[in-house]
Amino acid sequence: MKWLDIQDITIELCEKYPDDDPLSISFPDLHRRICNLDNFDDDKNKSSERILEAIVTSWIDERD
């Protein structure tokens, strides 16, 4: 997975952290969690606040 694979990242996060509220996770913690996903293989430095915001929004939508 790459940073722009928002939906795939969201699904992985939902499966790995089903009880976590994405709004309570700091961006540094979210970044770490994404980089530690088994299928994630992008450059860790290519993320941005905008990408992380999109992932949080997608994660919230996926939970609802």
Q: What are the pLDDT digits (tens) for 3-53?
A: 999 999 999 999 999 999 999 999 999 999 999 999 999 999 999 999 999
Report the CATH superfamily, name and number, of domain 6-63. IscX-like (1.10.10.600)
How far is 41 from 55, CA to CA, in rounded Å? 16
| Residue 63 banded pLDDT, cuts 50, 70, 90 | confident
Question: What per-residue confidence (pLDDT) applies to 14?
Answer: 97
pTM recorded for the entire structure:
0.94
Question: What per-residue confidence (pLDDT) applies to 64?
Answer: 80
| Residue 58 banded pLDDT, cuts 50, 70, 90 | very high
Where do the domains of the chain lie? 6-63
Angle between helices 49-63 and 27-35 (to 10 degrees): 80
Instruction: Classify the C-alpha dihedral 10-11-17-20 as positive or negative.
Output: positive
